[in-house]
Structure 1
């Protein structure tokens, strides 16, 4: 029996796999050498060297993985353009897509033809069974850590953990779920690939300090990660939280600005790199427009791999934006809204399987703060289910335990950027939700959607921050000159670091733009918020750098 099981689990020879997935023809006008051809783990580095006598500056080296949807060049997973590298070699980090192999091709920009392919097909040692894309969330009721991962193997999974000082590993079993194309709400079937299986295991709620975890199955385990446990509700331990929206995938590949993936242009590398190196951060709050997959399954795999080093260091709390949820044939479509097909038919299904939040809107406590995660993509008008829930939740906050209240949503209520379709939504949103912020003395409202940074002075007591700048890149040049605006940085990518103490909230906007030659994140805005205790909230001092 044992030998039969080993035979079942044996890797399929690459020659057999290639026969099952016919490759598009390639010429022999160049060479590509790859090393290694077998990668040990998801995200491992791959070195490429290439040689071509003449090429176009728009030519690219693309990474393709079966099942192939098209015989043309537009079926790529990711690509880079050799002329941008300035050399004939480059190193990238490769994502395990649970595909049998990668085919690397040099594509002519003028003809779309494959001029050559790599000398070897690439594969991963653990194949589709590797546990990948680890990330941590927090049980919104108990505060216990929840560890999530993705694998192509539906067999029983578990997480092993040990607190500092423990000699032995303890174990918690995982639940597993998946979805298919028919669980979503339309979109293009050619963009859909098997998403794998989504595992989730909850750790004991009484763990303190740091905990080391690894996850997977009996035969296939992840590497070990060290996670900071959540700050308990009511604890006055000083800590920082990262708040941001609109990240997407540029990727963490070695050589930022060198790798492109489907669906846009991003500057996420710098933001992710700064967050993973910031020792003050204890939690990340990502309010919508997460991966920008928009129906392209493999973009979720790329995002999950790119953000793993951040999301396995601290709880990574997520809510949906228009590019996760909006779809036609369902959802919320008020006559004045612009809620279209922005999710590419996903209707929140991939997001909820990965991050497993309890509902489209939810709340939780972390230290001295009560966080409220709204969904701007569901009905929030006065009297709606979400509006009533928000009113009730804010009324129930115990300010002796969590004196600070922060509300987040993907879309902002107040912003100086002008677009007619967006302004129509904002003109309805603030009259509906603004009175609740004032009534319940909310300290801070943070949102994204617009891809830049902005902060207001207190508006009826609440400071509004726009931080939809974690990677999505477009330049907006139509702004209104509004006296409530205290700071605005239209062309800067970055995130808001919020330091929490019992006396104040201290905000720092870390950013980077294309004029900064050293490409290091710098402080663009700094502000401090005082409590409501003595009347309306005041910004004690403002320093725009």
Structure 2
């Protein structure tokens, strides 16, 4: 290079570096926020509380709620006009005891068939307030809101407020909901906290470590979670509420259990093979997977905890052509390139860690340096993600940091489907070979 060109080029590079450093320095992380306080607010025992909805098979939704009155019926009345209920469905109920705590009556009622993309009005238990929901669309486009490790802090409230501004169809939560951690009243306050959103759009969740609440030799794990947050495991052929699948518009979503057995001899692995064998990529060109403990993680927090599950399941999911995998657990955000077996692969999955919904334990702020080549963006801030599946070939992912009390879009990327790139067809023989193995 000519000497007279070297100096201007060097100066330009230094100016770019200085500008980038200035932008980073301008951002000052706000202090942690306290756990929300929920004052005792006695309500009529028959009043439906903690109302939330979830998908329950084709054109059906499950309405879940709790009453203090054990005689309250598990009935939902619903229709497309306010105050006018043309349909009625009766469901089931359960309850549980945990040490000195006794839950209310937990109701689960499936309603449908419902029209896609339609607003319905409904009432639980034959009385109480009227709720309003909107069913997801029948075909693309469809939008998912994503946030894991929610908890019940001021940051959680900020995250929920920002999600409420998003025009989403389904909320997906990859584990760690209430952070009850054995204190069962926190399950109740979490249900109250999320009801304004969870009663209006389906919330699809999978379990995290904070849901386990196991007491060895005395209390099995996940009792509270399974009783309160029933997902469509039976509808998807699973024997456990800890893993299941569902379809919405042109997307097949698999919710795996990081805390259920997952080796190749496990029930979960067998179910996963059976579920993948039914996936029609012509009808559902997008394939997503959610679980709690991330497989690709450059944060020092929870480093390597997903390795064994990845070793067992990644080859199968790679052969199936999974487009995106979303996880929680690490209280920070990270997005990868398409990756497989520890390195970039154009036919691998995009891995996103989004365990930054607002939990009380705070942020995981220490990352490994230098970052591996497959890690594209990482930041220890609270926030939520929005995944817009535009059509069969393109999706738009954005992550919205909420540390500024505004949903600042800090990361975004267009993602091309593996179906359109030819990877799914290329690996179809490999997938059939794995699925047919005993």
TM-score normalised by the chain length of structure 2? 0.79
Counterpart of 2:189? 302
Which whole-Å CA distance do the structure 1 matches of 2:189 and 2:271 have between them? 35
Give CA-to-partner distance per residue, 1:426-473, whole Å, 9 cap, x none: 332322222112101000010000011100000032100001111122
3-state SS, counterpart of residue 392 of structure 1? helix
Which whole-Å CA distance do the structure 2 matches of 1:222 and 1:318 have between them? 26
Give CA-to-partner distance per residue, 1:188-214, whole Å, 9 cap, x none: x3xx42221101211112334110112
Counterpart of 1:249? 152
Which whole-Å CA distance do the structure 2 matches of 1:427 and 1:311 have between them? 32
Whether the aligned pair in 2 keeps the contact of 1:295 and 1:346 (CA below 8 Å) is: no
Whether the aligned pair in 2 keeps the contact of 1:453 and 1:488 (CA below 8 Å) is: yes
State the Cα RMSD in Å: 2.3
Which whole-Å CA distance do the structure 2 matches of 1:346 and 1:299 have between them? 19
Give CA-to-partner distance per residue, 1:329-387, whole Å, 9 cap, x none: 37xxxxxxxxxxxxx96711111111212322101101110000000001212332212
Counterpart of 1:475? 364
- CA separation of 1:78/1:522 partners in 2, compared to 1, >3 Å: closer, same or farther? closer
1:117-516 equivalence runs, <5 A = 124=42, 126-139=43-56, 141-155=57-71, 156-164=73-81, 167-181=84-98, 189=99, 192-208=100-116, 209-217=118-126, 221-232=127-138, 235-236=139-140, 238-250=141-153, 257=154, 267-278=155-166, 280-325=167-212, 327=214, 329=216, 347-357=221-231, 358=233, 359=240, 360-419=242-301, 422-460=302-340, 461-472=348-359, 473-480=362-369, 481-490=371-380, 492-502=381-391, 503-513=393-403, 516=404
Query: Larger % of helix: which?
Result: 2
3-state SS, counterpart of residue 425 of structure 1? coil
* Bigger RCO (CA 8 Å, 6+ sep): 2
Whether the aligned pair in 1 keeps the contact of 2:330 and 2:364 (CA below 8 Å) is: no
- CA separation of 1:499/1:346 partners in 2, compared to 1, >3 Å: closer, same or farther? farther
- CA separation of 1:146/1:459 partners in 2, compared to 1, >3 Å: closer, same or farther? same
Which whole-Å CA distance do the structure 2 matches of 1:425 and 1:78 have between them? 30
Which whole-Å CA distance do the structure 1 matches of 2:219 and 2:383 have between them? 28
Number of residue equivalences: 368
Which whole-Å CA distance do the structure 1 matches of 2:147 and 2:263 have between them? 24
Runs (4 or more) in structure 1 with deviation over 6 Å come to none
Q: Tell which structure's C-alpha radius of gyration is larger.
A: 1
- CA separation of 1:489/1:424 partners in 2, compared to 1, >3 Å: closer, same or farther? closer
Structure 1 stretches lacking a partner, 5+ long: 1-76, 80-93, 96-101, 103-122, 182-188, 251-256, 258-266, 331-343, 538-545
Whether the aligned pair in 2 keeps the contact of 1:210 and 1:228 (CA below 8 Å) is: yes
Residue 145 (structure 1) shift: 1.1
3-state SS, counterpart of residue 101 of structure 2? coil
